[in-house]
Structure 1
Amino acid sequence: MTTVGIIANPSAGKDIRRLISQSRFVSNQEKVNLLQRVIKGLSGVGVNEVLLMPDSGHIAQEAVSNLQEIISVKFLEMTILNSEQDTITAAKLMQKQGVSAIVTLGGDGTNRAVALGTCEVPIMPLSTGTNNVFPFLIEGTLAGMAAGTVACHLVDKELCAPRCKKMSVYKSRNMAMDLVDMALVDIAISTETYVGARAIWDINTVSEIFLAVAKPDSIGLSSIGGLTNPISATDSHGLHIEIEKQIGSKYVSAPLTAGNIAKVGIKSISNMVPDHAYVIKKTPCTIALDGERSIPLRDGDSITIILTGDGPPVIDPHKTLKIVGQNKVYFKD
């Protein structure tokens, strides 16, 4: 019996960036349609069962309403809180119940929450918006096929689902370092002293950026690094950028949100060394994780950021399906 978990975030693709930019709004019905294609892709390559996170938008419930004939459907027994804690709890329960892979529908923040729940189960991150770096923008059927292929052990998991990097955030408490959160793509130090609408969209409020990946073909903070010093998911190091508020002779033009290319002043750029402790003491401020302000720091507080290579295994659907074709996995002669 091969079981694949599915976590669909009902809030993904609906934050404030849809109001202040031309970022794509993704309706629940579009997510339902996408999820149905994912499940058909899973079923088509031999997955026997899907284990779904229930959600307040009833996305998963509606998606499987007429699919029970092709695949066994189960829902997690859990209380819905309408927060990222739902995703964290679901990921923990899915690992505990032995799923072979998890398909996520959401953005960078959704996958960060999954990683907070488990870094041991391979994930197939499927994008549902325009401001995403971590998930793949790929047709749902293909994402389902790739996830199912890895889940059914038909390809080498080390090749098709290598571990990603993660940036762990520690806070000093009682002479000890406590892990308080993590990020998979970017950490920004914001001069805003409150969490507010959470999403980072005004670069003038950002003083520093730490990047696990810096992609020139992305939207958001990662593009700042990507257009100055690209860092891939396979590179062991990351990038640390200090932002200059006044635009001088050293700047980069980067797409911070969909439809918005802005000049970003650069004070300094340096490689982020794995396992090195980066201490932030510029308080008061807020720490934004994967594009969303999450941790407020008061005067006298400090945090430590450490980049490591032990994030969750991430299924690369393009590489997986290429290997499937080369090895004729689904070819019958």
Structure 2
Amino acid sequence: MAAPTIGLLVNPAAGRDVRRLTGGATVSDTYGKRRAAECVLAGVDLAEDPVDILVAPDGGEIGQRTVAEADRSDVRLLDTPVDDTSADTRRAAEAFRERVDAVVVFGGDGTTRDLAVEIGDVPVLAVSTGTNNVVPTPVDGTVAGAAAAFLATDAVDPGAVTYRHTMVEARVDDGRSIRGLATVGVVDQSFVGTRAVLDPDDFLGGGVSRAGRGEVGLSGVAGALTRVDPDDGRGVALELDAGAERTVGAITVPGVVERVGVAEWSHLAPDEEHGFEVGEAVVSVDGERELEVQNAEIGVRPVSDGPRLVDFDAVFEAAPLAADARAVERR
């Protein structure tokens, strides 16, 4: 029988876009990511049963160096090709799907979204090292490793500490579609360009799979109007207009709070679609421009088959006491 195994993936490119210069987002450099990965290896020892660690290679060689410098036999490198694009994450996730019991991923919303495409039902411990993070959690790598080990060894019940994160999908009437983990935006631009969306006035609207007052970007705009939890299954449609009579304050990018004009908004039931007719626009997902469209109708809707994310606090609340503590209590 295979030993309990966790996957570890670090995106070396996460947290490096232009919003680092225009806003107040923190910097996550290669050294910091490598140290965080090393902390995961230490954290797994909190579980009483041994755990194997399968590490994905990456274009920055963070995973490769983590394995090479690990002074332990239970750490191995995943054998997948690397071309230093988002395809690396998807390939690793596909390999992890059949081989690991939980996966720790260091990145932002985009990295977690790429992982979600292929990871299936494997519990995901998403740790924030990106720019405009709505979904990943800012936790120490040691904590993430310990939580993953508790899950992999069945020390806690995965069903009690995970939840299915709703996603949001944009479908263009020419047959193209794309999914965002937290947000899909319709941007009043002609070209993808630098990818990051910097000015909220560029948004014509969009849809979100979650809404909270303290979130960043479109989900924060929606959060000024309503509350939708990430496992709710519903979403929110927004039509934005800089000249609208109603404006709401929101954190538009890290370090920036602005007033955003909201012309209309509505809740979306699971799979309910809201349409936008555009002459020329770009569809963004999780804050990055992805699809150029012309003279098209774009429908956005929440979809309920997103990744199975781990609630870190719930893991440690459910984690068993150490064996010696239980023995003392019995006496």
Correspondence for 2:204 = 207
Look up the match of 2:268: 272
- Tell me if the contact between 2:247 and 2:262 (Cα under 8 Å) persists in the aligned partners: yes
The alpha carbon displacement at 1:297 in A equals 1.0
Partner of 2:137: 136
1:130 touches 1:219 (CA, 8 Å); kept in 2?
no
TM-score, scaled to structure 1 = 0.91
- TM-score when scaled to structure 2? 0.91
1:176-221 deviation line (CA, Å, top 9, x unaligned): x56x431110111001111111111211110112111112222222
Aligned to 2:66: 63
For residues 277 and 129 of structure 1, what CA distance do their matches in structure 2 show? 29
* 1:84 match: 86
CA contact (8 A) 1:247 1:263 kept: no
Aligned to 2:310: 315
The yes-or-no answer on 1:186 pairing with 2:183 is yes
Structure 2: stretches of 5+ with no match in the other structure: none
**Partners of 1:147 and 1:317 within 8 A in 2:** no
Q: CA deviation at 1:148?
A: 1.5
% same residue: 27
Moved more, 31-40 or 270-279: 270-279
Alpha-carbon distance in structure 1 between the residues aligned to 2:322 and 2:163: 20
Partner of 1:297: 293
Mark the runs of 5 or more structure 1 residues left unpaired by the alignment.
none
Aligned mate of 2:321, from 311, 324, 328: 328
Q: Which moved more, 1:185-194 or 1:276-285?
A: 276-285
Map of 1:114 onto structure 2? 115
**Over aligned residues, Cα RMSD in angstroms?**
1.9
**In 1, Cα distance between the equivalents of 2:294 and 2:120?**
30
Q: Which one-letter code corresponds to 1:30 in the other structure?
A: G
Q: Aligned to 2:81, what secondary structure does the other structure show?
A: coil
Number of aligned residues: 323
**Residue type of the alignment partner of 2:212:** K
Q: Counterpart of 2:46?
A: 44
1:79 Cα offset (Å): 2.1
Separation in structure 1 between the aligned mates of residue 88 and residue 215 of structure 2, nearest angstrom: 27
Equivalent position SS for 1:113 = helix
Partner of 1:253: 249
Q: Secondary structure at the match of 1:57?
A: coil
Distance 1:67 1:213 in 2: 39
| Structure 2 counterparts to residues 220-235 of structure 1, below 5 A | 220-235=217-232
**Counterpart in the other structure of 1:25:** 27
CA distance in 2: counterparts of 1:172 and 1:282, whole angstroms? 11
Q: Against the structure 1 CA distance between its residues 255 and 332, is the aligned structure 2 distance closer, same or farther, given a 3 Å change threshold?
A: same
**CA–CA separation in structure 1 for the residues paired with 2:314 and 2:67:** 28
1:293-329 alpha-carbon deviations (Å, 9 max, x no partner): 1111122x344333122211101111111122xx536
Over residues 48-69 of structure 1, what are the superposed CA-to-partner deviations in whole Å (9 max), with x where a residue is unaligned?
Answer: 2211221111111222333242
Question: Counterpart of 2:68 in structure 1: which amino acid?
Answer: S
- Are 1:42 and 1:145, in contact at CA under 8 Å, matched by a contact in 2? yes
Which shows bigger deviation, 311-320 or 233-242?
233-242
